[in-house]
Structure 1
């Protein structure tokens, strides 16, 4: 279980206890369902799914009381990606990033397809300037992957280093320190929201929106699904396949395998 999952699960249990003004031991199965019914009115299906999983884990695994969770539903996560940004909207977004920090945050998410939590935890020794690669450590599922970055990202890195002169973590909070070092996921989300607002975009945009845009544009420019799965750090191909319905790649025919056989 990753640190972000632990934090989300702990928050879910805290919210349940605050809602009923009671300790976890005193909360009944009916109380849990009432809490979920109320929260469902104000949160999305993905957040509700996390909430259900957290309560199932605590009462089932930690307290060993499956009777209290037998009626907790497991909502399906929505398969839709949400609204994606067009090329002109992406240019408008980047033009609204007035600081090197904000531009680099956008560049890492959209340019490399990173998650908000991955951006928040980057440290300077994760970069290999010689080979132009970035190691993403302790990603979702505890995995690690190495990503190449291009000249555009390199330019943003140079500008940011010149302005901010980071010493350990690439990004640090100016208000409070993250419990895991660097900035918090909410800090990354705040930066994206601030730039979106400044850009005057009406679409609902979060860091994951830019990650989705990266995946679709990667396919549109000739990338293949196997490599995209590696770049995004997906555990299953089914997660990567969903981008096919949003992409419009240029279809190019290749010679018959028979030609390759005899030409070789």
Structure 2
């Protein structure tokens, strides 16, 4: 490991950056070095600008991906090398607002039903039944499940925030059946040989296969289940502040975006919604 790489990792770890962010920032600094064929600490502002612009002009990457590259390099040069830039490296970009294709109740049910692997099936049910992110379900531990309280305690999730997520009776029943079969000790979903969590790519691949086997052509990865959870809960009347807490959104405006599908949305105070039970009612 080079000294610069170690310094970058140290700067991120002392600030408690997530592992995913650390990996992304290291990857962008490496990509910069590969593009320029030089050590990053020898580059001029004009060379950094050329690299960042090439991400859009030559590689046609999305605005969000280019923004991530900029933030990674801005952190590296500012915090590791102590440099400031004399010119604007990247012009202001309009973020692409893509509305994901919404999965219906029947489509979610088909995806779950065709998934034959019991571990991946349980993970898919958690993504939909609780609105969990891919990383959150993969890192879920046995101790995070509080059966008597009917909640999942997520510790240091995205944004380094803890939150409690209600678990429906149907989902809790499935979790108990899963535990009786596999008896996980630390991680709920573990690798077969070592007590380590399943890799995120494994679940993503399993989801794509299940979606294909279910004959669903809508675009999007497993994050579509989180969108479906949010939208279906709003369809059932869940209040926006409650959904905001479950999803872990810092700004309620992020949660409000899900009402795009529901022009006549109305909240029902105090209601509890069991999405898996609704799936069982599908023909």
Report the TM range for the smaller structure's normalisation.
Answer: 0.7 to 0.9
2:126 equivalent to 1:108: yes
Quick one: structure 1 residues 252 and 191, their matched pair in 2 at CA, closer, same or farther if it must change by over 3 Å? closer
For residues 186-228 of structure 1, what are the alpha-carbon distances to aligned partners after superposition, in whole Å with 9 as ceiling and x for unaligned?
3332332232233232122212211111111111101011101
How far, CA to CA, are the matches of 2:119 and 2:45 in structure 1? 47
Match of 1:60 in 2: 78
Alpha-carbon offset, residue 69 of structure 1? 6.9
Question: Is 1:4–2:20 an aligned residue pair?
Answer: yes
**Partner residue of 2:102 out of 67, 80, 84:** 84
The match for 2:278 is none
Match of 1:199 in 2: 214
On the 8 A contact 1:173/1:187 being kept in 2, the answer is no
Q: Can you list the C-alpha shifts for 1:64-111, whole angstroms capped at 9, x where unaligned?
A: 222277322454443333211122221221122112111111111111
Alignment partners' CA distance in 2, 1:134 and 1:233: 13
Is residue 133 from structure 1 mapped to residue 151 from structure 2 by the alignment?
yes
- In structure 2, C-alpha distance between the alignment counterparts of 1:16 and 1:175, rounded to whole Å: 37
Deviations 1:96-153 (A, max 9, x none): 2112111111111111011111111111011111122110010111110011111221
Structure 2 counterparts to residues 22-171 of structure 1, below 5 A? 22-40=38-56, 41-67=59-85, 70-73=88-91, 75-171=93-189
Other-structure match for 1:219: 234
Residue pair 1:147, 1:231 contacting (<8 A) in 2 also:
yes
1:245 corresponds in structure 2 to 260
Contact 2:45 2:86 in 1 (8 A): yes
- The answer (yes or no) to whether the contact 1:83–1:204 under 8 Å persists in 2 is yes
8 Å contact 1:169–1:182 — kept in the other structure?
yes
Q: In 2, distance between residues paired with 1:130 and 1:4?
A: 32
Structure 1 segments, 4+ long, off by >4 Å, are 174-177, 248-254
TM-score under structure 2 length normalisation: 0.79
Task: Report the more deviating stretch, 111-120 or 31-40.
Answer: 31-40
Secondary structure, counterpart of 1:138 in structure 2 = strand
Structure 2: runs of 5+ lacking an equivalent:
1-16, 270-283
